[in-house]
């Protein structure tokens, strides 16, 4: 059995990963030891090979594992990966953090989209398997069928990204902002709609909303900036789209994806409004078929108000593996332009699911 050291199982992504592993019975086919950077010797969660937490900072312990699986974050990866490799460890490093994504000896993992590439790289000796940016993963889950057909010339994606993508602390700050906005002691519902709007706007502008984590009021607002600035006016989140999609698909020339990334007050689903420039004209029904054939999780949502409101929203999709794609229509710009809207769970396909599936791929590889 594969011996797996699991670091960062307590955080948001790690907890979702552990839930998924339990739900799928993964722990039974693996020898998982839960590790900690701060509480070695403490009580481990159920399902592992030991009731006691191992030490995630002890290279001698880590060397015994076939796989180090980490959701601990970039700081841990920077601190431990090189050290461990430096000790001659040749095991598999599976990581949710972005630190190693662009290294030549790493493979980005999203197996419903690039399973062949993952398996090929595994056979030829790759040992670092890294989850891609969540927005990129969710976009490719949605439209990989079109890429597979060589039909995409470029994509403009305007994102509506959930606060979970920014981390647990920001998510809980958003809940505190929401509590503040509900104006304790004052019944918003007793006000006219305009009075309620003014009261909420006043609080947003008052500086009283907790915002040390997020940097601005997000509740009842949107923030069109994610991550740091790049040199050419893009944010780093926007820059990642083309760079990581190209790497994930192994595309040459690079795929063209650009747009504006926006944080919204959704909790765990990223949504994206797409303008897709096709390389050739095809009937819309073929576009549906190609999208559907991308992977078994894509769901085509009929372009009607009823279907859209019931199936194509963060409220409908949170906690599910399905990736709905809807609002599919020919745009007014000409026959090659198709509009679409997609929603996906940022913590599942955007983070945890590709990691747990990588463990499955390693198990197959071993057998």
Torsion of Cα atoms, 171 then 176 then 181 then 187, to 10°: 130
CB nearer ligand HSE, residue 131 or residue 145: 131
CB nearer ligand HSE, residue 34 or residue 129: 129
CB nearer ligand HSE, residue 351 or residue 359: 351
Strands lying side by side in the sheet with 31-36 = 54-55, 31-36, 3-7, 67-70, 92-95, 128-131, 106-109
Least Å from the CB of residue 15 to ligand HSE: 16
Q: Give the one residue of 112, 165, 217, 314 binding ligand HSE; rule: CB under 6 A.
A: 165
CB nearer ligand HSE, residue 12 or residue 69: 12
Least Å from the CB of residue 229 to ligand HSE: 15
Q: Active site residue: 71, 180, 269, 270, which one?
A: 270
Least Å from the CB of residue 231 to ligand HSE: 19
Contacts of 315 (CB under 8 A, 6+ apart): none
- Please provide the size of the chain in residues: 367
Distances (CA, A) of 292 to 296, 297, 299: 7, 8, 7
Least Å from the CB of residue 99 to ligand HSE: 12
Long-range (24+ apart) CB contacts under 8 A made by 60-63 are 61/5, 61/35, 62/5, 62/35, 62/89, 63/87, 63/89, 63/91
Footprint on residues 104-133 left by ligand HSE (CB under 6 A): 133
226 lies in the binding site for ligand HSE (CB under 6 A): yes
Binding mask 21-60 for ligand HSE (x = CB under 6 A): ----------------------------------------
237 lies in the binding site for ligand HSE (CB under 6 A): yes
Binding mask 170-209 for ligand HSE (x = CB under 6 A): ----------------------------------------
Of the candidates 269, 262, 264, 263, which has an alpha carbon nearest to the alpha carbon of residue 316?
A: 269
Q: Active site residue: 71, 134, 261, 269, which one?
A: 134
Whether 134 is catalytic is: yes
For residue 300, count other CB atoms closer than 10 A to its CB: 17
Least Å from the CB of residue 270 to ligand HSE: 6
CB nearer ligand HSE, residue 264 or residue 338: 264
Whether 270 is catalytic is: yes
Footprint on residues 143-162 left by ligand HSE (CB under 6 A): 161
Q: Give the one residue of 80, 113, 166, 249 binding ligand HSE; rule: CB under 6 A.
A: 166
8 lies in the binding site for ligand HSE (CB under 6 A): no
| CA 116 – CA 361 distance, rounded (Å) | 11
Least Å from the CB of residue 163 to ligand HSE: 8
Q: How many residues in the shown chain lie near ligand HSE by CB under 6 A?
A: 9
CB nearer ligand HSE, residue 61 or residue 235: 235
CB nearer ligand HSE, residue 21 or residue 171: 171
Least Å from the CB of residue 140 to ligand HSE: 13
Contact positions vs ligand HSE (CB under 6 A): 133-135, 161, 165-166, 226, 237, 350
Active site residues: 134, 270
């Amino acid at each position: 059995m594969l011996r797996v050291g699991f670091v960062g199982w307590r955080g948001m992504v790690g907890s979702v990963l552990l839930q998924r592993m339990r739900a799928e019975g993964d722990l039974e086919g693996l020898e998982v030891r839960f590790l900690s950077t701060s509480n070695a010797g403490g009580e481990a969660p159920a399902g592992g090979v030991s009731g006691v937490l191992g030490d995630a900072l002890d290279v001698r312990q880590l060397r015994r594992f076939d796989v180090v699986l980490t959701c601990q974050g970039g700081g841990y990866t920077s601190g431990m990966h090189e050290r461990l490799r430096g000790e001659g460890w040749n095991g598999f490093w599976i990581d949710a953090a972005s630190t190693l994504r662009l290294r030549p000896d790493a493979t980005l993992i999203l197996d419903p989209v690039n399973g062949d590439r993952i398996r090929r790289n595994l056979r030829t000796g790759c040992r670092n398997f890294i989850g891609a940016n969540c927005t990129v993963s969710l976009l490719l889950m949605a439209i990989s069928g079109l890429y597979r057909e060589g039909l995409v010339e470029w994509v403009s994606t305007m994102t509506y990204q959930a606060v979970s993508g920014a981390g647990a602390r920001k998510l809980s700050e958003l809940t505190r902002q929401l509590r503040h906005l509900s104006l304790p002691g004052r019944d918003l519902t007793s006000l006219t709609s305009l009075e309620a709007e003014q009261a909420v706007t006043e609080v947003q502008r008052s500086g009283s909303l907790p915002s040390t984590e997020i940097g601005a009021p997000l509740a009842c607002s949107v923030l069109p900036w994610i991550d740091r600035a790049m040199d050419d006016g893009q944010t780093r989140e926007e820059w990642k789209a083309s760079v990581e999609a190209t790497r994930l698909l192994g595309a040459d020339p690079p795929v063209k994806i650009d747009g504006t990334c926006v944080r919204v007050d959704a909790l765990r689903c990223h949504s994206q409004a797409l303008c897709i420039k096709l390389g050739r004209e095809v009937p819309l029904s073929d576009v549906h078929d190609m999208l559907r054939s991308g992977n078994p999780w894509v769901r085509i949502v009929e372009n009607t108000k009823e279907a859209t409101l019931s199936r194509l929203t963060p409220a409908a999709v949170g906690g599910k593996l399905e990736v709905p794609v809807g609002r599919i229509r020919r745009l007014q710009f000409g026959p090659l332009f198709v509009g679409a809207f997609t929603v996906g769970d940022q913590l599942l396909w955007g983070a945890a699911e590709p990691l747990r599936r990588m463990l499955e791929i390693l198990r197959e590889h071993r057998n």
